[in-house]
Amino acid sequence: MRVTLFVPCFIDSLYPNVGMSMVHILERLGHSVDFPEEQTCCGQPPFNSGYWEEARSVAVKQIEVFKNAEVVISGSGSCGAMFKVFYPELFHGHSAEAEAKALSAKTWEFSEFLVNKLGVTDLGARFEGRATFHDGCHGLRELGTKQAPRELLSHVKGLELVEMSEAETCCGFGGTFAVKYPQISTAMAEVKCNSICETKADYVISNDSSCLMQIGGWLNRNVGSVKCLHLAEVLASR
């Protein structure tokens, strides 16, 4: 299958390894991976801030970029949800509505794509360590992703997965919220990270890098010993 990657702006510039891990995994499975260089950002920051006109002008470009893609895979539940859930709403009653819906229909979050589209759960990965999984809110509640990443991780040799009590609690990132209300955002990160630490895990894994930026940001400042990894990075290791 020809798989088109959507690598959101912050993964592109801050977490290139996440994107490359996805590339390796998909290529090993025999798919050809395509990355249209014209893509930039899904437009979520202005969208979430209420500036829908500005968001639309960015979004319309992405719709164009992915027009000919067969499937679009996102390594961020949040940006994936933007394509899948919010584009149809953003373009409701606008000229690009049909195209927005088409993009929505062919967009997949990475773990859902592997498990529910390709039917793959064992990637032959090996990763030594004790880890806990953080459910990013957009992936969990907008896209309904809960089991797929766990299914994939359960086949990783050497990995011990322990659930934390607050797995489904928001990490407090929330895009611009994290900088507009830093105190609240940080208090939320603290709750999340305390729950992570309670599991005595060496790693916290998530399918959303934006959450990991928040969780990692707090852990590195306050704890230091727990490392953050994107699901794809774990699944790509051998």
Partner 1 sequence: MSTIADLPRQQFQSDANRTANDAPRRAAVRRALSNYQTARDRTGATFTDWKSARASAATIKHEAVNHLDRYLEEFEQKFTARGGKVFWATDSKQARDYILNLAKEKGVRSIVKSKAMTGEEIHLNEALIKEGYAVVESDLGEYIQQLKGEPPYHFVFPCMHLRRDEISDLFHRELGTAKTDSPEELTMIARNVLRRAYVDADMGISGGNFIVADTGMISITENEGNARLTVGLPKIHVALIGIEKVVPCLADLALFLPMLATAGTGQHLTGYNSMYGGPRQPGEIDGPEEFHVVFLDNHRTRLLADPEQRDALHCIRCGACLNVCPIFKNIGGHTYGTTYQGPIGSVITPHFRGLEDWKHLSGASSLCGACTETCPVGIDIHHHLLHNRRNAAAQKPAAGEQLLWKAFSFLMKRPALYRLATKFAPLGGLLHPLVEGTAMDPVASWTATREFPAAPQGSFRERFRAHKAAKAELVKKGGVQ
- Per CB under 8 A, residues contacting partner 1 are 7, 9-20, 23, 27, 35, 37-41, 43, 45-52, 54-55, 57-58, 61, 137-138, 140-142, 168-170, 172-189, 191, 213-214, 216-218, 220-221
* Nearest approach, Cβ of residue 27 and partner 1 (Å): 8
Q: Which residue's CB is nearer to partner 1, number 30 or number 119?
A: 30
Q: Which residue's CB is nearer to partner 1, number 95 or number 183?
A: 183
* Nearest approach, Cβ of residue 187 and partner 1 (Å): 4
Q: Which residue's CB is nearer to partner 1, number 112 or number 142?
A: 142
* Nearest approach, Cβ of residue 185 and partner 1 (Å): 7
Measured CA distances, 5 to 8, 17, 79, 125 (Å): 9, 14, 12, 21
Residue in 134, 210, 219 with CA at minimum distance from that of residue 178: 210
Contacts of 230 (CB under 8 A, 6+ apart): 15, 17, 18, 21, 75, 205, 206, 207, 208, 209, 212
- CA 98 from chain centre, in angstroms, equals 25
d(CA 45, CA 125): 34
Q: Which residue's CB is nearer to partner 1, number 44 or number 111?
A: 44
Q: Hey, how many other C-beta atoms are within 10 angstroms of the C-beta on 145?
A: 26
d(CA 50, CA 44): 10
d(CA 238, CA 234): 9
* Nearest approach, Cβ of residue 160 and partner 1 (Å): 26
* Nearest approach, Cβ of residue 175 and partner 1 (Å): 8
d(CA 190, CA 212): 13
* Nearest approach, Cβ of residue 207 and partner 1 (Å): 15
d(CA 24, CA 21): 5
Q: Which residue's CB is nearer to partner 1, number 159 or number 233?
A: 233
Q: Which residue's CB is nearer to partner 1, number 44 or number 132?
A: 44
